[in-house]
Structure 1
Amino acid sequence: MVHKARVSDTSDLQSLTPGLYIVATPIGNLGDITMRAVETLRRCDAIACEDTRVTHKLLRHLEISKPLWRYDDHSDADERARLIESLQHKAVALVTDAGTPLVSDPGYRLAREAREAGIAVTSLPGASAPIAALTISGLPSDRFLFAGFLPPKEKARRDVLAELAGLRATLIFFETAPRLLKALEAIGEVLPGRDVAVAREITKLYEECRTGSANQLAEHYAAHPPRGEIVLLVGPPADNAGEEMDAEGLLAEALADMKPSQAAAAVAKATGLDRKALYARALEMREK
């Protein structure tokens, strides 16, 4: 289904055409908001937001006053249905607390149901923490995957990293300061040899992007506990990953408490190397 978004002339403050306007807001520096975003927030009928207190601060800075409607992770289907009904005759801007809506938040359900109802959906691009972090990290940017937050539990965290190990792309995660060390430790074990970057407080006064191995970064942040919002990036496996990651060393370590088939599967996930070839080598090593 294709819907063409209709945007009224922005030369005055007449109401916008009814529909959903997905508006990116600053991730730190308020100067990063776009002129088009400001104009849309001025002309819309209402604003759907994660936290009315956070959005109120932004609107006060912009000298804008609009009705604020709460829409967040806890909004249920009934609340979404009422919002869809309002979109039939009102122009509603959707914002998140910081950055681009729908990136690691439930807004996609609203956008999907609005489209299914024949409502125009318009995106106003702007600040995005994953993209900003990628651009300053120095890691390959031709292929990348944003994977949201890593799971808080250790096994689930390692499982996710192992699942993504074979991708020839830079991996981008959100992470919290209290969990950063655990995440770095897991990356060092599951994805050894990778380039890693920690970007935090992007666009703010104390912006920092530190790069190195997972172990080096873990050592640094153990001594200097981080603060603020964090984007964690992991570079893709090198073309000669088999040599750099010492597959035999990983196999030998895994064989200490695994069967050859299990060891081969674990190392294949960690390195992206062929499981059958690793299994054959594991059998040889076990015989010796």
Structure 2
Amino acid sequence: MRRPPLTAPRGTGEDDREGGPRLYVAATPLGNREDVTLRVLETLRRVPLVIAEDTRRARSLFAIYGIEGKRVESLFKGKEEVRTDDLIEKIRGAGEAVLISEAGTPVISDPGYLLVERCRREGVPVIPLPGPCAAVAALSVAGLPAEPFLFLGFSPRKPGELRHYLEGYLSLPFTLVLYESPLRIEKTLEALRELAPRRPLFLAREMTKLFEEHLSGSAEELLAALTGREIKGEITLVVGRGEKRPPRPESREELVEILLRETGLSLKRLERLLRRETPA
């Protein structure tokens, strides 16, 4: 059976590039230079304007792939609101632009959301160029349920806020994926040891790089593996999902109804058990 030829989605192919300004959102390697896609390289070579989270990192990337003559504009966290108006005008002037982050997929815990939102609001097409993403890469090898999962980004820095933050999400029936700094990972694991001591965890450090490391186990086990070491590199932490807690019954009748449904016991047998377990 002959397979149909692969085609670009409508609005993103060669024939549609004359239709006005557009923004490409391009994923770049997490560390291994061979993880870049051919489509990203072709677009970076063709498009005149690159919007980068880190302009120095962008120029280093261009040097690796032999890309020359690029005009590079910065867009880093804390300056998105200030820069968005100017960047929209620059995209219109250039015709095409590419948004890249320091590593991985832009917008995912990286700058770019406000620029993308503004482009869409003003009718500037935004086209994804898929590729590396630390959250998805870690989840794919964690050996934990991936459906459903909830991406949390970076956790709060203050211990009190961290605990409150984790408590809220741990009560949900989702696998959790979060980013953490090597300076704060032990504090996060200590909080998880207290709040969810039996929850399975997966830690990925320095993904796709020379000293890549994967650790699986409870919070206690991961802490033991990291204690006394100098921890370096970016960390992605996957937290196995919890069980959804049923609502607390508000009456004896509601409790009986829930137990009948969940246990499969007869009403007579259940009533006998409840009389035995309930003090007079």
Q: TM-score normalised to the size of structure 1? A: 0.78
Q: Deviations over 1:173-230 (max 9, x none)?
A: 1001111111001011112210011100111111111000001111110133321110
Distance 1:72 1:116 in 2: 21
Question: Within 5 A, what are the aligned runs for 1:226-237?
Answer: 226-237=231-242
CA contact (8 A) 1:25 1:127 kept: yes
Distance 1:137 1:152 in 2: 25
Question: Within 5 A, what are the aligned runs for 1:41-56?
Answer: 41-56=44-59
Aligned partner letter, 1:21: Y
2:184 equivalent to 1:179:
yes
Q: CA RMSD in A?
A: 2.5
2:30 equivalent to 1:27:
yes
SS in 2 for 1:98: coil
Q: Deviations over 1:27-62 (max 9, x none)?
A: 010100000000000010110001111111100011
Name which of 241, 245, 253 aligns with 1:273: 245
Q: Which runs of 5+ in 2 are unaligned?
A: 1-9, 253-278
Question: Within 5 A, what are the aligned runs for 1:57-136?
Answer: 57-65=60-68, 66-89=70-93, 90-136=95-141
**Counterpart residue number, 1:7:** 13
Q: Higher mean Cα deviation, 214-223 or 23-32?
A: 214-223
SS in 1 for 2:114: helix
Aligned partner letter, 1:213: S
2:161 equivalent to 1:156:
yes
Distance 1:119 1:64 in 2: 25
Distance 1:125 1:94 in 2: 12
Aligned partner letter, 2:177: I
CA contact (8 A) 2:53 2:75 kept: yes
SS in 2 for 1:88: helix
Distance 1:57 1:16 in 2: 31
Distance 1:15 1:203 in 2: 37
CA contact (8 A) 1:139 1:170 kept: yes
After the TM superposition, which segments of 4 or more aligned residues of structure 1 sit over 4 Å from their partners?
Answer: 14-17
Distance 1:60 1:166 in 2: 47
Larger Rg: 2
Q: Higher mean Cα deviation, 95-104 or 215-224?
A: 215-224
Aligned partner letter, 1:44: V
CA contact (8 A) 2:23 2:91 kept: yes
Distance 1:5 1:111 in 2: 17
Q: Higher mean Cα deviation, 87-96 or 179-188?
A: 87-96
Equivalenced residue count is: 243
Aligned partner letter, 2:241: P
Q: CA deviation at 1:16?
A: 9.4
Q: CA deviation at 1:158?
A: 0.7
Q: CA deviation at 1:75?
A: 1.9
**Counterpart residue number, 2:175:** 170
2:230 equivalent to 1:225:
yes
**Counterpart residue number, 2:207:** 202
Percent identity of paired positions between Structure 1 and Structure 2: 37
CA contact (8 A) 1:5 1:121 kept: no
Distance 2:72 2:30 in 1: 20
**Counterpart residue number, 1:37:** 40
Q: CA deviation at 1:79?
A: 1.9
> Cα–Cα, structure 1 residues 234 and 9, in superposed 2: closer, same or farther, change >3 Å?
same
**Counterpart residue number, 2:221:** 216
Distance 1:139 1:98 in 2: 25
Q: CA deviation at 1:166?
A: 2.0
Aligned partner letter, 1:276: R
> Cα–Cα, structure 1 residues 186 and 275, in superposed 2: closer, same or farther, change >3 Å?
farther
**Counterpart residue number, 1:252:** none
Q: Deviations over 1:102-123 (max 9, x none)?
A: 1012311100100111111111
